[in-house]
Amino acid sequence: MQKANDLGRSSTVLEQDSTLIVVIEMSLSSWLVAGIVPGLDRHPLKKLGADEDALIQLLHRWREEATECGHAITRIAVAFEAGRDGFWLARWLRARGVEAFVIHSTSVAVPREHRRAKTDRLDTEHLKRALLGWLRGEPNHCQMTEIPSLDEEDARRPNRERENHVSQQTSIVNRLKACLIRLGIRNFKPTLRYASERLDTLRTPEGVPLPPNTVA
């Protein structure tokens, strides 16, 4: 039985004739917006700057086009993959009456024959198929992620910053060890207290001190 909070499929019945379905392929400076507009034979595709106001205007324009074709739009569903933009756009759209979803990037199945070809246009086609299947309640199309509030997202920041600092520390320590191992020194631990003060006492197997560039 499907759970109400199942993020692997939608729990809302899809009325496709009255639903505007939109996906966004996002980059740092531009958004490629693709839609499935009831009443239109074509699937419109529009490139925008990274501008939320232009996006909402486009959604309203497509809604009006559907209305002109005899399809009154009662639901707008927008989805995009999780990325550097985080969740702010989803929260912004939801505050304006748009159903916004964020897709786990690794959950979208890519046809084997298209794995070598990667374009934004192909990506939007994959996203449209994934979102449409998810809205229909079909399993294994994609997995949505929960959209946190601003306070919830901010509460995660300390842990994420700590993980980032630990990763940076590990990288630096490994680089230091690699530099010393190239000179034949294997027993030095850079993480020990006062380790930097011991550098002057280190000697290579040849009995010479560390060269100046390595010390630096």
pLDDT one-digit tens code per residue, 96-131: 999 999 998 887 766 655 555 457 678 888 899 999
Say what the pLDDT of residue 18 is: 96
- Whether the full predicted model's pTM is greater than 0.85, yes or no, is no
**Does 94 have pLDDT greater than 50?**
yes
Is the pLDDT score of 134 beyond 60? Answer: yes
pLDDT recorded at residue 153: 78
pLDDT mean over 35-57: 95
From residue 3, alpha-carbon distances to 6, 8, 35, 131 in Å are 5, 10, 28, 18
Mean pLDDT of 2-9: 59
Using pLDDT thresholds of 50, 70 and 90, give the confidence band for residue 82: confident
Check if the beta carbon of residue 189 is closer than 8 Å to that of residue 195: yes
Read off the pLDDT of each residue in 141-166 and give the average, rounded to a whole number: 82
pLDDT for res 77: 96
Q: What local confidence, expressed as pLDDT, does residue 1 receive?
A: 34
Q: How far apart are CA 56 and CA 40, in angstroms?
A: 19
Find the distance separating the first CA and the last CA of the chain, reported in whole Å. 63
pLDDT of residue 132 exceeding 80, the answer is yes
